[in-house]
Structure 1
């Protein structure tokens, strides 16, 4: 694909971002970069004090920064209270995939005659859209995607190549699904008769809200009876596993390799670090943050930060601690006996 050319005046960017411009409003920038990698013509950003040391030496034409760092800036500046949030908005202006879809249905796409395509949609090569499926206005369905029977994709959504939606899946407006994610596969449901397993048909669906984003190679299973529900503005990283009938509240975020077992409910504004595991049938209240690699086996009813496990340490120290961990129960019992004898005296 041909590289898209960008060019914005600082006056235009300041107006878009609600920033105070210090410098020449007519100067143009054509790229977005870090302070270290910026070249003349680029705009950079300073959102972390750890990178303040690079500000004076940066070759950027302009920098997004906070008022407190303005004196150390030697180039044009766009001053804001939250430079990182401004960087997020600015990044979309330099995104080559941004803009309106190319209104077309590729000749190799297979679209069932009962499917409904909205206005101004882009259907890429080798896309398959099943019976009764619906694609909203201004959506982009890129190469190799499959949209199963009676599934729907909301207005302005973007499905990157090779996304698979099983039947009965609903994707909200402006949602973004990355390559290889699978939405609506069967949940892990089996009954055992003492000799072997018997499959339980998964009769529910998956509902994903507006402005949600699902990372590459993530799996979100359909419900066994009711639906698996992902709320509005939920952000899910790559290689995440969400089991059947899980519910995730609005504005929550899950980092890579999180695993959530069946029927667990996660509240609004929750954050799950990389590799977090949630056991099944739990309830996690609003405003909970679980740090990376933690295992949650009980419901959480109070907002806050929760952790389990230990950080990396010298292997020799870890081995000694592991031995002592096995002795904790015995030590606790002995301590209780000592306390009891002291109390009796």
Structure 2
């Protein structure tokens, strides 16, 4: 397998790319990114958290990406940016070996339908299966063991890591990243009960992922029962997330690990769902809603803001006492109402 040579850039090139103020030699070259403590000569380090400011003076990095407020204490050339972490994120892709390697073409063991349309500079790994009617745009990478079902489309520059499954009739936008083990387009959990048995409801819709979507490993996005399940542009989905049929997620929302969303719920734009959040079905979350980790949402949220549910951790003995009080809350509320009514009537 042929890999590209290690990436190397001048500070001038990097400053221009992220629109940073350069203090130092613009021709100085760096060939890697590292933390302040791990950096060696030739590396670019970054300081994005004040907690690590104590390591700045002793860094061995050739240059550091810093906020202007910390520039004067930097012992080496620097790139100054108001949001150093965002600058680091942008530069990280320049040094990613996966994005700096030549496409390998179609592996001899891959099974590609003659009816599939394959774009230019596409890599299809070993033991992949590409069914009829599939359209794969230019510059895509399909990892080993992946399956792409009939009539599915994959937008330009998208990457499927090893063992990704796209069922039939799935649409993936440009520059998507789908991690190993994720399944897009499996059947939604749809059944009708006749009193004794479950009758399966055929899931006739599909899944549509927008541009710049990322889906973590072992996550599932179910196809719609009739219409499509819709994932907007720029949505980021962590590992082990379950998104049920006909869910809609607005642009640039982010879902942390182990989120579960029941069917037909609509999540707005720029929403943040913490790890382990559960959303009941047929709800609506407004744009800009943030739900903190391990919360259960059973009613629609129509105003932006931060929402939580559940109780914090405590000792088991304290929890047992509180659990008894929880059972008494209804009776206590009724007694309080009677007392207040008696005072008003007195």
Q: Which residues of 2 match residues 153-302 of structure 1 at below 5 A?
A: 153-302=154-303
Distance 2:232 2:12 in 1: 37
Change (3 A) 1:59 1:217: same
What's the CA shift for 1:114?
A: 0.7
What's the CA shift for 1:313?
A: 2.2
8 Å contact from structure 1 (residues 160, 177) kept in 2 = yes
Distance 1:327 1:303 in 2: 33
The answer to which of 24-33 and 169-178 deviates more is: 24-33
What's the CA shift for 1:324?
A: 1.6
The answer for the alignment partner of 2:13 in structure 1 is 12
Distance 1:8 1:39 in 2: 16
What's the CA shift for 1:223?
A: 0.4
Distance 2:53 2:281 in 1: 45
8 Å contact from structure 1 (residues 4, 96) kept in 2 = no
Distance 2:102 2:246 in 1: 33
What's the CA shift for 1:221?
A: 0.3
Distance 2:288 2:315 in 1: 34
Post-superposition CA distance 1:211-266 (Å, at most 9, x none):
11111100000000111010111110100000000000111110100000000011
Change (3 A) 1:277 1:187: same
Q: Note the residue ranges of structure 2 that are not aligned, 5 or more in a row.
A: none
Distance 2:90 2:301 in 1: 34
Distance 2:338 2:54 in 1: 58
What's the CA shift for 1:57?
A: 2.3
Distance 2:325 2:36 in 1: 48
TM-score norm. by structure 1 comes to 0.97
TM-score norm. by structure 2 comes to 0.96
8 Å contact from structure 2 (residues 177, 212) kept in 1 = yes
The answer for the alignment partner of 2:135 in structure 1 is 134
Q: Which residues of 2 match residues 68-147 of structure 1 at below 5 A?
A: 68-99=69-100, 101-102=102-103, 104-147=105-148
1:27 aligned onto 2:28: yes
Post-superposition CA distance 1:312-332 (Å, at most 9, x none):
223332222222222211221
8 Å contact from structure 1 (residues 101, 138) kept in 2 = no
The answer for the alignment partner of 1:57 in structure 2 is 58
What RMSD, in angstroms, separates the aligned Cα atoms of the two structures? 1.4
What's the CA shift for 1:283?
A: 0.9
8 Å contact from structure 1 (residues 274, 293) kept in 2 = yes
Distance 2:73 2:81 in 1: 15
8 Å contact from structure 2 (residues 4, 102) kept in 1 = no
What's the CA shift for 1:21?
A: 1.1
- SS of 1:327's partner is helix
8 Å contact from structure 1 (residues 101, 139) kept in 2 = no
The answer to which of 309-318 and 288-297 deviates more is: 309-318
Change (3 A) 1:37 1:3: farther
Distance 1:100 1:170 in 2: 26
Distance 1:57 1:289 in 2: 39
Distance 2:197 2:36 in 1: 60
Distance 1:195 1:43 in 2: 65
Post-superposition CA distance 1:53-78 (Å, at most 9, x none):
22122222211111111122112110
